[in-house]
C-alpha cells in the first residue's frame, strides 16, 4: 500500500513521523518543500508535485490549515480530484467545516475517490506521542481500512457516522476547549485583581475538581509568559467561527469566539491559544 502525506505543519510533521516510526513507507508533499527535511531524514520520500503524490498513493492523508487550504489541495488544477486514481482512499485530518467535508466527499465520490473526514483532538504533544483522539466520518469500510494507520496516530479513532460527522464532533470538542481556555484566563486575571497570585491560583485550580491535564499542561507556559504554539490561537479562532456558522445557540462560545478573533487581530495568532491571557491582560 502506497501512503501519501500532504501538510507538514506543527501537527503534520509529528503525525507523519509516527507512521514512519511504525515502519510504514511514506511519500510526502508540502507547499513549502523545505519543511519535509526532518521526515526525509527519517526515511520519507518527497514527491515532486502534489499531482504526482495523488496519482501514486493508495491512501492519501491531508493535514493543512483550513477549508481554503483543503479545497485548494483537492480542487486545484493539479490537485487530488484531478490526479488521484479511482478507488484512492483520501483521509482529511484538517479541521474544516462539516459542510466542506460533505462537499469534498461528494466531489470525490463523483470522481470515484473515497473520502474520510478524520480531524483530531490534541495538540503537538499528543501528536508526537501518538495519543490523539481521532473522529471519523465516512463509510465504515473505509474507516476500517484506514484504522491500522489511524491507530498509530491516536489512542482512539472513532467512527461517528457519514461524512461530516468527524468534523462536527471536532467542532464540538473544540468549542469546549475554547471556552475552557478563555475561562482559565479570566479566572487567573480575576484572582490577580483580588490579590491572589497566578502561581497560587494555578495550584488551586489543579487541586480542585475543575483541574484538568489541559490546565496543568499550560501552567509552565503561563508562569513563564511564553506561549509557543502547541495549538495556534489562529486555529482556535477559526474553529469557533466554524462552530458559530452551524447556527446553534452557544452564547459562551460566541463570546469566546469574539475574544479569540480580537486576539488574532492583535497579532497573537501564531502563539498558543493560551496567549488569550496576554490579550485579556491588555
Ligand atoms: P500549521 O502549523 O499552521 O500548518 C499548516 C499546514 O497547512 C502547512 O503544511 C501549510 O503549508 C499548509 N497550508 C496552508 N495553506 C495551504 C494552501 N493554501 N495550500 C496548501 N497547503 C497549505 O497547522 P497545524 O499543523 O497546527 O494544524 C493543521 C490542522 O489541524 C488545522 O486544521 C488545525 O486547526 C488542526 P506551508 O508549510 O505553510 O507551505
Maximal C-alpha separation, the chain: 64
Residue 220 CB burial class (10 angstroms; 0-12, 13-18, ≥19): exposed
Q: What residues contact 153, with CB distance under 8 A and at least 6 apart?
A: 15, 18, 19, 120, 127, 130, 132, 134
Distance from residue 194's CA to the centre of ligand 1 (Å)? 41
| CA pair distance 5, 17, nearest whole angstrom | 10
Q: Is-contact 269 237, C-beta < 8 A?
A: yes
Please report which confidence band the pLDDT of residue 43 belongs to, taking 50, 70 and 90 as the band edges.
very high
Residue 232, ligand 1, Cβ within 6 A: yes
User: What backbone phi and psi angles, to 5 degrees, belong to 130?
Assistant: 70, 35
Distance from residue 62's CA to the centre of ligand 1 (Å)? 9
Q: Which among 8, 31, 32 is positioned nearest to 20, based on CA atoms?
A: 8
Distance from residue 230's CA to the centre of ligand 1 (Å)? 14
- Pocket test residue of 4, 7, 65, 79 for ligand 1, highest count of atoms within 8 A of CB: 65
Residue 104, ligand 1, Cβ within 6 A: no
**Cell output for 38:** 526532518
Residue 33, ligand 1, Cβ within 6 A: no
Residue 263, ligand 1, Cβ within 6 A: no
Distance from residue 176's CA to the centre of ligand 1 (Å)? 23
Q: What residues contact 21, with CB distance under 8 A and at least 6 apart?
A: 42
Tens of pLDDT along 117-135?
Answer: 999 999 999 999 999 999 9
Residue 127, ligand 1, Cβ within 6 A: no
What's the confidence (pLDDT) of residue 3?
98
Distance from residue 96's CA to the centre of ligand 1 (Å)? 12
What's the confidence (pLDDT) of residue 73?
98
Q: What residues contact 62, with CB distance under 8 A and at least 6 apart?
A: 6, 7, 70, 73, 80, 90, 91, 92, 93, 94
User: What backbone phi and psi angles, to 5 degrees, belong to 54?
Assistant: -60, -40
Tens of pLDDT along 85-114?
Answer: 999 999 999 999 999 999 999 999 999 999
**Cell output for 156:** 482512539
Question: Where do we find the cell 475561562?
Answer: 183
Helix (H, G, I), strand (E, B) or coil at 118: coil
User: What backbone phi and psi angles, to 5 degrees, belong to 145?
Assistant: -70, -40
Mean pLDDT (the chain, rounded): 97
Q: Which residues are catalytic?
A: 170
Please report which confidence band the pLDDT of residue 264 belongs to, taking 50, 70 and 90 as the band edges.
very high
**Cell output for 254:** 460566541
Q: Whose CA is nearest to atom 1 of ligand 1?
A: 9
Which atom of ligand 1 lies nearest, measured to the CA of 96?
32
Residue 63, ligand 1, Cβ within 6 A: yes
Q: Whose CA is nearest to atom 4 of ligand 1?
A: 9
| CA pair distance 158, 118, nearest whole angstrom | 9
Tens of pLDDT along 126-165?
Answer: 999 999 999 999 999 999 999 999 999 999 999 999 999 9
pTM value?
A: 0.95
Tens of pLDDT along 194-249?
Answer: 999 999 999 999 999 999 999 999 999 999 999 999 999 999 999 999 999 999 99
Residue 8, ligand 1, Cβ within 6 A: yes
Amino acid at each position: 500500500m502506497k501512503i501519501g502525506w500532504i501538510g507538514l505543519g506543527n501537527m503534520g510533521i509529528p503525525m507523519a513521523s509516527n507512521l514512519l516510526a511504525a515502519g510504514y513507507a511514506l511519500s510526502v508533499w508540502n507547499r513549502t518543500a523545505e519543511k519535509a527535511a526532518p521526515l526525509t531524514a527519517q526515511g520519507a520520500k518527497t514527491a515532486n508535485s502534489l499531482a504526482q503524490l495523488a496519482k501514486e498513493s493508495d491512501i492519501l492523508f491531508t493535514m493543512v490549515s483550513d477549508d481554503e487550504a483543503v479545497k485548494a489541495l483537492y480542487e486545484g488544477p493539479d490537485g487530488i480530484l484531478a490526479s488521484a486514481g479511482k478507488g484512492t482512499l483520501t483521509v482529511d485530518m484538517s479541521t474544516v467545516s462539516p459542510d466542506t467535508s460533505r462537499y469534498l466527499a461528494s466531489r470525490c465520490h463523483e470522481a470515484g475517490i473515497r473520502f474520510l473526514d478524520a480531524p483530531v483532538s490534541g495538540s503537538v504533544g499528543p501528536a508526537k506521542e501518538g495519543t490523539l483522539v481521532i473522529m471519523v466520518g465516512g463509510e465504515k469500510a473505509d474507516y476500517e481500512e484506514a484504522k491500522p494507520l489511524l491507530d498509530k496516530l491516536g489512542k482512539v479513532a472513532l467512527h461517528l457516522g457519514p461524512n461530516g460527522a468527524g468534523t462536527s464532533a471536532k467542532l464540538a470538542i473544540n468549542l469546549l476547549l475554547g471556552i475552557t481556555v478563555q475561562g482559565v484566563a479570566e479566572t487567573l486575571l480575576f484572582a490577580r485583581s483580588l490579590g491572589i497570585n497566578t502561581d497560587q491560583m494555578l495550584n488551586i485550580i489543579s487541586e480542585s475538581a475543575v483541574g484538568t491535564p489541559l490546565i496543568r499542561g499550560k501552567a509552565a507556559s503561563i508562569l513563564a509568559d511564553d506561549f509557543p504554539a502547541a495549538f495556534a490561537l489562529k486555529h482556535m479562532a477559526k474553529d469557533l467561527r466554524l462552530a458559530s456558522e452551524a447556527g446553534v445557540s452557544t452564547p459562551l462560545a460566541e463570546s469566546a469566539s469574539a475574544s479569540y478573533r480580537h486576539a488574532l487581530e492583535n497579532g497573537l495568532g501564531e502563539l498558543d491559544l493560551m496567549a488569550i491571557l496576554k490579550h485579556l491582560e491588555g
